[in-house]
């Protein structure tokens, strides 16, 4: 009998080809055995009876704002929240912290903080902004997982949107470096023009905000980025796509052979514009929540397996920046606080729409691992990291301030009831979250491509 540090027995394990009742042996942070019966192994046993075991989720799109704005969210609270949501890895975006991660020094400084405070393994995006194209190679060599750029106004003076020349120049360099460019794709000229008109007229309601960021703004930016990718050979990753029209352009480009992946977020699949009307700033994001008909079209695209991965775009802020007593939705901070709920959301949709659970594992773990070159993660397989999430799909989880572990408790997901619950999250063989228990020690590791 193999020597194990611990064994997991009686679980329903979610493999790429389906769900099977198997036992898993763990040794020194790795999966060293997958077989039908390890109950007599004579070592520490974790009984997963009645639970599904997913590969630890990999969320490639969060904003933790540290250093500089850790009062918004930081590595400590943010990473424990991710662990409570079943994630064993997250990718932190380069903006909202001070300084933004647009040079090697800022990248290494953020990584040092993360390794001190994070409960969960993490990777770091570098940024593409006007004037930093010469910094990209050093960022890549230091371990940036890829690069992020905006095509619309960011609202962040430390991280400006790209003009077309910066975008083309940067894409050419990113292609040379063999990296991926993640794009926030909304047309700056369109959204700025419409926002200025609304402000001049004093129009600040939920309907007004949605009208400043129409679907056409997303479609125009997506099309432009695809043309530029075709010209430069730059691999693209489209973030938080919110419309079926934009997806049509992306699907066509992928069929043409362009190196493109695409994500959407749980909030575009579970919620719609009516929630912005009802809940105000807590539901404000960019792109905005779409009408119910568009939400249904996005869910159908999910059923048709057109998205490569699902992320949270966790983008929190202090309460005063989303104060519901301030009815000016044009000025409120735009971001959804919900990093804890991506895996739960996808399981909810899978149960509702009869989507196989292995597709959930694909969207939340194995596809991100493949796209961003993180070997030994993303699938439950012998030799891989022992990063696992235990889910009870027969119990409910009601979101409340006491069980939402982000620094600020204001969220679109507040009071939502999921038909499933995260019971335990393991990262590299160690339990980093267990339902109803206090957190242990932070031991997150900075991950680089092909580490």
Phi-psi bin for 345: left (phi > 0), alpha (psi -120 to 50), beta? alpha
Higher local confidence (pLDDT), 43 or 100: 100
Q: Can you read off the two tokens belonging to residue 365?
A: 């773990």
The pLDDT value recorded for residue 269 is: 98
The Cα–Cα gap between 89 and 95 comes to 19
pLDDT tops 60 at residue 1: no
Residue 53 has phi, psi (to 5 degrees) of -110, 115
Per-residue pLDDT at 451 = 41
Please provide the average confidence, as pLDDT, over all residues in the chain.
Answer: 95
Confidence check: pLDDT of 19 > 90: yes
- Compute and round to an integer the Cα radius of gyration of the chain: 21
Give the mean pLDDT of 89-100. 95
3-state secondary structure of 92: strand
pLDDT at residue 438 in the model? 67
Burial 27-43 (b: 16+ CB within 10 A, else e): beebbbbbeeebeebeb
Q: CA 385, CA 391: separation in Å to the nearest integer?
A: 19
Q: Which residue, among 132, 170, 120, has the nearest Cα to 314 in the 3D structure? A: 120
- pLDDT tens, position by position, 126-145: 999 999 999 999 999 999 99
Strands in 126-127's sheet, in edge-to-edge order, are 126-127, 147-150, 181-184, 236-238, 260-265, 309-311
Q: Rounded to the nearest 5°, which phi and psi values hold at 190?
A: -65, -50
Neighbours of 132 (CB within 10 A): 18
Q: What is the mean pLDDT of residues 36-62?
A: 91
pLDDT tens across 181-240, in order? 999 999 999 999 999 999 999 999 999 999 999 999 999 999 999 999 999 999 999 999
| Lowest-confidence region among 287-301, 368-382, 427-441 | 427-441
Percent with pLDDT over 70 in the chain: 98
Three-state SS at 122 = strand
What are the percentages of helix, strand and coil residues in the chain, rounded to 5? Answer: 35, 20, 45
How large is the average pLDDT for residues 39-62? 92
For the segment 377-404, the average pLDDT, to the nearest whole number, is: 96
Domains and CATH numbers, the chain: 6-53+382-397+417-434 (2.30.40.10), 56-371 (3.20.20.140)
Residues 323-328 have a mean pLDDT of 71
Model pLDDT for residues 147-167, shown as the tens digit of each residue = 999 999 988 888 999 999 999
What's residue 437's pLDDT? 77
What was the pLDDT predicted at 436? 74
Q: Which residue has the higher pLDDT, 322 or 308?
A: 308
Q: Which of 10-14, 321-325, 406-410 has the lowest mean pLDDT?
A: 321-325
Share of residues in the chain with pLDDT > 90 (%): 89
């Amino acid at each position: 009998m193999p020597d194990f540090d611990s064994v997991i027995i009686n679980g329903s394990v979610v493999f790429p080809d389906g769900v099977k009742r198997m036992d898993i042996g763990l040794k020194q942070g790795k999966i060293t055995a997958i077989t039908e019966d390890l109950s007599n192994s004579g070592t520490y046993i974790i009984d997963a009876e009645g639970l599904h075991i997913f590969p630890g989720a990999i969320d490639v799109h969060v904003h933790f704002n540290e250093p500089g704005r850790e009062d918004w969210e930081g590595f400590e609270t943010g990473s424990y929240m991710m662990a409570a949501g079943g994630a064993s890895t997250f990718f932190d975006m380069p903006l909202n912290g001070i300084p933004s991660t647009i040079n090697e020094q800022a990248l290494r400084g953020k990584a040092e903080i993360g390794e001190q405070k994070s409960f969960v393994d993490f990777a770091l995006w570098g940024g593409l902004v006007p004037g930093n194209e010469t910094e990209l190679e050093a960022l890549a060599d230091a371990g940036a997982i890829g690069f992020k750029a905006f095509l619309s106004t960011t609202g962040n003076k430390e991280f400006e949107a790209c003009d077309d020349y910066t975008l083309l120049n940067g894409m050419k360099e990113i292609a040379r470096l063999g990296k991926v460019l993640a794009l926030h794709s909304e047309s700056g000229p369109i959204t700025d023009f419409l926002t200025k008109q609304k402000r001049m007229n004093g129009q600040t309601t939920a309907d007004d905000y949605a009208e400043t960021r129409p679907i056409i703004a997303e479609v125009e930016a997506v099309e432009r980025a695809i043309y530029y990718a075709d010209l430069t050979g730059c691999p693209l990753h489209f973030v938080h796509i919110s419309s079926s029209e934009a997806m049509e352009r992306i699907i066509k480009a992928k069929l043409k052979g362009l190196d493109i992946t695409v994500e959407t977020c749980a909030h575009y699949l579970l919620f719609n514009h009516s929630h912005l009307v009802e809940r105000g700033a807590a539901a404000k994001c960019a792109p905005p929540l779409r009408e119910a008909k568009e939400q249904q079209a996005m869910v159908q695209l999910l059923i048709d397996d057109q998205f490569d991965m699902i992320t949270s775009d966790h983008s929190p802020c202090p309460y005063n920046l989303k104060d519901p007593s301030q009815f000016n939705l044009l000025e409120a901070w735009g971001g959804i606080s919900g990093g804890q709920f991506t895996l739960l959301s996808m399981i909810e949709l899978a149960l509702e729409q009869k989507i196989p659970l292995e597709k959930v594992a694909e969207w939340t773990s194995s596809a991100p691992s493949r796209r961003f070159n993180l070997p030994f993660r993303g699938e439950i397989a012998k030799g891989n990291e022992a990063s696992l999430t235990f889910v009870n799909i027969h119990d409910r989880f009601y979101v409340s301030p006491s069980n939402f572990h982000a620094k600020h408790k204001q969220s679109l997901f507040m009071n939502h009831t999921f038909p499933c619950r995260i019971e335990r999250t393991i990262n590299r063989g160690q339990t980093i979250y267990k339902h109803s228990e206090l957190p242990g020690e932070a031991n997150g590791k900075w991950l680089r491509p092909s580490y």
